Chain A
Amino acid sequence: MAVQAPEAAPPPRAPAVRPRRKLTGYWLILPGALWLGLFFVVPFYSLLATSLYDPNGSVLGGYDMTYHFANFVDAIKDYWEPLLRSLGYAGIATLICLVLGYLLAYAIAFKGGRWRTLLLVLVIAPFFTSFLLRTLSWKLILADDGFVVDALQSVHILGADDRLLATPVAVIAGLTYNFLPFMVLPLYASLEKIDGRLIEAAGDLYASPVRAFFKVTWPLSLPGVVAGTLLTFIPAAGDYVNAQLLGNPNTRMAGNVIQDLFTKTSDYAAAGALSVILMLIIVGMVMAYVRTAGTEDLV
């Protein structure tokens, strides 16, 4: 039997080879971490600083750092309405997304059969077509002489002079539509993991399918519900495109105000303060929500 000749090199001793190069991890994470540090973490600091600038400064004259905490009070005083609207619209849109998204995710996960992947792909497909164009389409669909309004008027849900476009309904509909995929995907991910036999067993034990659903399926899908609602609520609360394109001046959300303060009135201090407030509210709500829902492993 021909045996492979042993390597000529002398056998190395333990310490020479054993320790894994611990630095590799740092080198690999460094570029990405640096990018996020410089352009995500540091900007937050800038934003915080901006929010404390002297509100009397201007783009031309520059801003002075005066630790002007009153900016926050002013921002809340001036903009509490759009802030509340942001949270309210986003909340309602998230709830509707949860209902619609759950239906769709449930159908794909348990009734999809061999079409599962294809259906899932179809959920993601709209996401690849311009967000703005899809929102503009809603403008067209909900237009005063569009078929939706006509239909609703003919069954007298809407009065002859009522409209959908430029109403809170249109804004919420737009938000719901735009962020629905963010709800469906995490829901599907957690529903798919549920063993179908569990539900059958539950049907056996609880008899009524509705009770079986609330006793078994719903609790098991909670991680997906938490992830989905967060992924829907957060971008919806910060959105201003839907309010801008589908709403009217009375449906302005916090995002619209921040955008205008930065780009139109150049009131950076107020814009910064409002951004920080929005972020704090969202982080606070998310933390409270996650704590109640008891799901820590979102990352």
Chain B
Amino acid sequence: MSSVADRDLRISKLTKEFATFTAVKSLDLVVPQGSFFALLGPSGCGKTTTLRMVAGLDTPTSGSIHLGDLDVTYEKPYRRPVNTVFQNYALFPHLDIYENVAFGLRRRRSPEVARQVDEMLALVELTSQARKKPPQLSGGQQQRVALARALINRPEVLLLDEPLGALDLKLRRSMQLEIKRIQTEVGLTFVHVTHDQEEAMTMADTIAVMNAGVIEQMGSPTELYENPATTFVANFLGQSNLIAGKIIGREGDVVKVQMEGTVVSIPADRAHADHGDGWVGIRPEKVLIAPAGQPIDAPGNHMTGAYVTDVSFVGVSTQYLVRMPWGQELMAFEQNTGVRGIIPVGTAVDVSWRPEFAFLLDASQDVNAGIEEA
């Protein structure tokens, strides 16, 4: 069942119960070796608890954690080849940067500490700061020290717990790219916990969206965004229009849905429900609008009788709120390509979208799941 090269992180049936609630419910997860994996979810979803169990800082109630063949479920944190970049860095304030970075090596009596530390400091561009104490560094520098301190141990898995949460937006963007670069360079498995969907999408190859202790959906950023399987994912990752409909049934490659007087078709691989009621989902940038009667570049149904209730110009795009004949307001984002001017509030418009962009979700799910948390 295993080869030497198999160093995947395997989590199975992992559960963590606290006195009053269950933080993680029977979680199954495989993180392939060398991947950049993101655990994405709102605060309190259990993602940090999962991370802490992998690090050995929390003990699971049940389930197991394997690194390749090695069962580390109950292993002490200092006996597992896993290192963590803590949320607020947790740099040792009484040690200078050099000693912070050397800490793990020294504990393991590793040879050539000096050479390794120098190399690592060079990698994160902090050579000149080696003899300063952590509080003397800026937030971004501290972040890099935390990264260096963990990376230098060449762990099989590097855990990052909201590592960029304390940085301002601009710095965060550049650190995202920086961490991604370092990950590619060193080729270690990174498990990144975050509540920032943009951050997860920018950095990770694979994202697992967590909610209330379970994984809602897992996949590449595009998969998750383009084809969300639950209302939570649809709302938490970007924004979605969800319209109530009655599922008529499958016809060939598509599922037909009766939606407010119109029958819409949804590709079968994007339909996550096949009978009863359903939510028809469409991302705002996929919704096309045009003043009533003018052509729309979409082969699907044209819905008429809508009008614009709100317009916000945000530079690269214009965001419209469109009231549909059945009273629901849909969001429609349009790139400012300059082909057409902004449609003013009150204008009667037609609405359409390409059928292949729509998705179908189970109506038993809360239509607002994931909106507040995002």
The CA of A118 and the CA of B174, in the complex, are separated in Å by 42
B74–A13 contact, CB under 8 A? yes
B67 CB within 8 Å of chain A: yes
A219 CB within 8 Å of chain B: no
Contact partners of B155 in chain A: CB under 8 A: 4
B186–A1 contact, CB under 8 A? yes
B154–A11 contact, CB under 8 A? no
Q: Looking at A3, A13, A17, A18, which has the most chain B CB atoms within 10 Å of its CB?
A: A3
Q: Mark B59-103, 1 if CB is under 8 A from A, else 0.
A: 100000001101111111001010000000000000000000000
B187–A7 contact, CB under 8 A? no
Contact partners of B67 in chain A: CB under 8 A: 6
Q: Which 5 A-B pairs have CB atoms at the shortest separation, nearest pair first? A: A11-B71, A1-B187, A4-B81, A6-B70, A14-B74
Q: Mark A204-238, 1 if CB is under 8 A from B, else 0.
A: 00000000000000000000000000000000000
Min C-beta distance of B6 to chain A, whole Å: 12
The CA of A17 and the CA of B56, in the complex, are separated in Å by 12
Min C-beta distance of A7 to chain B, whole Å: 6
Contact partners of A6 in chain B: CB under 8 A: 67-68, 70, 81
A residues whose Cβ falls under 8 Å from a Cβ of B:
1-4, 6-7, 9, 11-14, 16-18
B74–A11 contact, CB under 8 A? yes
Min C-beta distance of A153 to chain B, whole Å: 58
A12–B75 contact, CB under 8 A? yes
Contact partners of A9 in chain B: CB under 8 A: 79
Contact status of A3 and B81, CB under 8 A, knowing A11-B70, A11-B71, A18-B59: yes
The CA of A228 and the CA of B75, in the complex, are separated in Å by 49
B74–A17 contact, CB under 8 A? yes
Min C-beta distance of A162 to chain B, whole Å: 59
Contact partners of A2 in chain B: CB under 8 A: 154
The CA of A11 and the CA of B69, in the complex, are separated in Å by 10
Residue of B nearest to A17 (CB): B74
The CA of A6 and the CA of B156, in the complex, are separated in Å by 9
Min C-beta distance of B261 to chain A, whole Å: 55
The CA of A37 and the CA of B340, in the complex, are separated in Å by 86
Contact status of A11 and B75, CB under 8 A, knowing A4-B156, A6-B67, A6-B70: yes
Residue of B nearest to A7 (CB): B79
B153 CB within 8 Å of chain A: yes
Contacting residues of chain B (42-71) with chain A, CB-CB under 8 angstroms = 59, 67-68, 70-71
The CA of A85 and the CA of B6, in the complex, are separated in Å by 84
| A-B Cβ contacts below 8 A, count | 36
Min C-beta distance of B256 to chain A, whole Å: 51
B residues whose Cβ falls under 8 Å from a Cβ of A:
7, 59, 67-68, 70-76, 79, 81, 153-156, 186-188
Min C-beta distance of B5 to chain A, whole Å: 10
A3–B154 contact, CB under 8 A? yes
Contact partners of B75 in chain A: CB under 8 A: 11-12
The CA of A18 and the CA of B73, in the complex, are separated in Å by 11
Contact partners of B68 in chain A: CB under 8 A: 6
B154–A4 contact, CB under 8 A? yes
Min C-beta distance of A12 to chain B, whole Å: 6
Contact partners of B188 in chain A: CB under 8 A: 1
Contact partners of A18 in chain B: CB under 8 A: 59, 74
Residue of B nearest to A2 (CB): B154
The CA of A7 and the CA of B76, in the complex, are separated in Å by 12
Q: Looking at A7, A16, A18, which has the most chain B CB atoms within 10 Å of its CB?
A: A7
Could you pull out 10 A-B pairs where Cβ atoms are within 8 angstroms? A1-B188, A3-B81, A3-B154, A3-B156, A4-B153, A6-B68, A6-B81, A11-B70, A16-B74, A17-B76
Contact partners of B81 in chain A: CB under 8 A: 3-4, 6
The CA of A252 and the CA of B157, in the complex, are separated in Å by 75
Residue of B nearest to A10 (CB): B71
The CA of A7 and the CA of B187, in the complex, are separated in Å by 21
Contact partners of A13 in chain B: CB under 8 A: 74
The CA of A16 and the CA of B74, in the complex, are separated in Å by 9
The CA of A9 and the CA of B70, in the complex, are separated in Å by 10
Contact partners of B186 in chain A: CB under 8 A: 1
The CA of A16 and the CA of B76, in the complex, are separated in Å by 12
Residue of A nearest to B154 (CB): A4
Min C-beta distance of A21 to chain B, whole Å: 14
The CA of A285 and the CA of B217, in the complex, are separated in Å by 64
Min C-beta distance of B311 to chain A, whole Å: 38
Residue of B nearest to A4 (CB): B81
- List 20 extra interface pairs beyond A2-B154, A4-B154, A11-B72, CB under 8 A: A1-B154, A1-B188, A3-B7, A4-B153, A4-B155, A6-B67, A6-B68, A6-B70, A6-B81, A7-B79, A9-B79, A11-B70, A11-B71, A11-B73, A12-B74, A12-B75, A13-B74, A14-B74, A17-B74, A18-B74
Residue of B nearest to A16 (CB): B74
Contact partners of A14 in chain B: CB under 8 A: 73-74
Q: Looking at A1, A4, A11, which has the most chain B CB atoms within 10 Å of its CB?
A: A11
The CA of A7 and the CA of B69, in the complex, are separated in Å by 12
Residue of A nearest to B187 (CB): A1
Contact partners of A1 in chain B: CB under 8 A: 154, 186-188
The CA of A9 and the CA of B187, in the complex, are separated in Å by 26
The CA of A7 and the CA of B80, in the complex, are separated in Å by 8
The CA of A225 and the CA of B71, in the complex, are separated in Å by 57
Residue of A nearest to B7 (CB): A3
Contact partners of A16 in chain B: CB under 8 A: 74
Contact partners of B156 in chain A: CB under 8 A: 3-4
Residue of A nearest to B62 (CB): A14
Contact partners of B79 in chain A: CB under 8 A: 7, 9
Min C-beta distance of A147 to chain B, whole Å: 50
Min C-beta distance of A251 to chain B, whole Å: 53
